Amino acid sequence: MTRLPTLFFATGAIFAFFGMLWGIQMSASHDHTLSPAHGHLNLIGFVAMSVFGTYYALTPRAASNRLAMVHYGLTIATVLVLIPGIVLAITGQGEAIAKIGSVLAVLSMALFAFVVLRHGVGGAVKSQLHHDGIHSEPAE
């Protein structure tokens, strides 16, 4: 198994931590103006990252493909661009960055769909099967 599922889960946990702190700050200040950005941080930064990590943990042949690391990087870029972009849009400082972040989010999900359709769900990497002493092909 690759380290990719761990990267997705660890990064998701970090995003969730900051999302929770932000939620506490909003509650303490009674100012929920930025709640859409907070919600997107939790949804993409934690929920989607965790779903992706689960998929790659269940499907190591997909995780061992180079596209999987591209997917990880694209998802990180999505969070780092979209969340500040939403903040800027809400505070009236322009929508361009939020729009770019939205396109990155769509690309990240499209890439995930492609990976799932290409590799299916489950199974093991051939080399892992041979390493474990199993010489049959993974079930599709």
Is 137 domain-assigned? no
Give the separation between CA 44 and CA 31, rounded to whole angstroms.
22
Q: pLDDT for 21-57, tens place per residue?
A: 999 999 999 999 999 999 999 999 999 999 999 999 9
Is 28 domain-assigned? yes
Give the separation between CA 136 and CA 54, rounded to whole angstroms.
24
Q: What is the CA radius of gyration of the chain?
A: 18
Residues with Cβ within 8 Å of 97's Cβ and at least 6 positions away in sequence, in order, are 81, 84, 85, 88, 89
Tell me how many domains the chain contains. 1
Is 32 domain-assigned? yes
Domain that holds residue 20: 4-131
Q: What is the pLDDT of residue 130?
A: 45
Q: How far is CA 57 from the centre of its chain?
A: 13
Is 138 domain-assigned? no
Tell which wins on pLDDT, 137 or 45.
45
Q: pLDDT for 56-96, tens place per residue?
A: 999 999 999 999 999 999 999 999 999 999 999 999 999 99
